[in-house]
Every structure is written in structure tokens, then in C-alpha cells.
Amino acid sequence: MSSRRVFNLLIIILVLFLSGCGGIKKNAQDESQDFFTPLEQAKDGEFYRNTFFGYEFVIPQSTVIYGIRLEDQIAVLADEESEIVFVPGEGTNYLTARVVDTQQTAHEWLTESLLFFYPNGEAAQKIIEVDGHLAIMLRGNGSADSPARLMVVQGNEKLLVITNERYEEAFEKLVASLKID
């Protein structure tokens, strides 16, 4: 197996693991507290900007953006350089966004990754444009083994992969507000 395929497989495994979000902790030293509620929650119209990967979106009101520290898989408040971010909702994530650094096109990456996200191979597909970039949107049934939405946006030598486990209107608003550098 080529090193690119191994890397893509590791990214996919990480994506599945993170879809459940793991525990949310204040920091690595505070192992006794599994979950926390930050004092500052988003107000109407605030946005999250990821300068490292070059995208931004409007944060749903009264929610918080978290990032995953890859070295220890702990969720922390997202910063501008978080590699993986998620917006928790009621019982699921409104959105999980991660960047895949690859020379592959969105189509090539999805061809290799489709069965990971949709094991039965069934997902509705359409090509859309997001802020001037080609994107492929897949729609599944939102079950435990099939995200409701998966979108892969073609960037410059990277892909932005956005998933939503269960369909919610907030996801559509997030995607509509998405800006990519």
C-alpha cells in the first residue's frame, strides 16, 4: 500500500473517531473533568476563522467551536490554527471540519474514501460551488454508519472535508456562510 493511501486511511480513521468527538476537556492537566461549558458562547453573527487553512463560517448562536489536539485527542476551544474543528449540537455535531493535505482532487479522494463514510455505497451526490470553489456534496441517511451530509471542497493542494452526522438546519446555514481563501 502506498504511503499516500496509508496517510489517507489514517485520516479517515481519525475522522470516524472524531465524529463522536471523544471527551471535551479544559486541558491535559485537568483529567478529572470530562465535559465543560465555556462561559463565552457565540452571539448572533459571530464567525470562526481558520487562518492556517484559510476558511471561515458563521458560528450558530449560543454554540462554541472546539478543536482537537491531535497529539492526545483532547477537545479544546478552537483557535485559528486548529486542524480539526467541530460545533456540537443537540446529540450530534452541527459540523465537523477537517483539512486533508493532498494532491488528489475531491473526486479522487471521495472515490477512495466513500465506503468508509457510506459502507453500503449509497449516497446521493451533487456538484456544487462554495465561495467559488468546486465541492462535492453527498447526502446519506444520517444513521450511525452514514453521515447525513458530507462535503468535500477542492482547495489549493488541500481538501476541506465537512460532515454533519444528522441533518439539521444549522448545517445548511453554516455551509451557506462558508468562505474559503
Q: What does the pLDDT look like over 53-92, one tens digit per residue? A: 788 888 877 788 888 888 888 889 888 888 888 888 776 7
- 3-180 is classed CATH 3.30.1370.110: no
Q: Which of 163, 170, 142 is nearest to 99 (CA)?
A: 163
CA distance linking residue 12 with residue 172, whole number of Å: 23
Q: List the chain residues with pLDDT less than 50.
A: 1, 6-10, 13-39
